Amino acid sequence: MRVPILVWALDAILVGTLLICCYTDLKERKVFNLVLFPTAVLALIIHLILQGGMGAWFWGKGTLAGMALLFIPFVLGGIGAGDVKLLGVVGSFKGAAFVFKAFLWAALLGGVFSLFFLWKRKELRQTLGRMGGALKLFLYSCFRVWNFKQLEGNDAVALPYGLAISLGSMICLVGELW
């Protein structure tokens, strides 16, 4: 009887964490460590209770997979550290396979949100033109251009990516029910 309750608790705690992080990211443009670290530790404890050492292994693989998926965008400056840790927390709860699917959904939703925000700011056509110019430069240089700093504008649109991660994870959670 305790095991199904703990399995259900994992999903409930994850949903609560995603909702809190989504709210703070939309309101303050931050995903707080004060929310992420305790929930990750709680996920570890529950996995240890459920599966012992294998639960810790599952937790570790999921956490690292989630953080690894957003590491390069973080290093390149395209995403915040809170978003990287949020995806790591998703992996700590649900594992590496789940976090990869959530990442794909988040990427898709993030692209849609970006297009919407650019359209709303009436910058979609200009941005697509700059992207086309960057692609043309990259192709004409035979793939040797590595620094696109001169092509960047200073008026970049900051996207609350925690929203995309949260919604992508929720879609995957709902998908598990079907």
**Residue 112, exposed/middle/buried by CB under 10 A (0-12, 13-18, 19+)?**
exposed
**If you compute the radius of gyration of the chain from its CA atoms, what whole number of angstroms results?**
19
pTM for this entry: 0.83
Per-residue pLDDT of the chain (178 residues; tens, 9 = 90+): 455 788 889 999 999 999 999 999 999 999 999 999 999 999 999 999 999 999 999 999 999 999 999 999 999 888 999 999 999 999 999 999 999 999 999 999 998 998 888 888 888 888 888 888 877 777 777 656 555 555 455 556 578 899 999 999 999 999 988 8
Q: How far apart are CA 134 and CA 140, in angstroms?
A: 10
Q: Are 88 and 33 in contact (CB under 8 A)?
A: no
Structure tokens at 117: 């925000």
DSSP letter string, 146-177: ---GGG--S-PPPP-HHHHHHHHHHHHHHHHH
CA distances from 136 to 76, 141, 143 (A): 21, 8, 10
CA distances from 89 to 9, 29, 114 (A): 15, 18, 24
User: Residue 63 has what pLDDT?
Assistant: 98
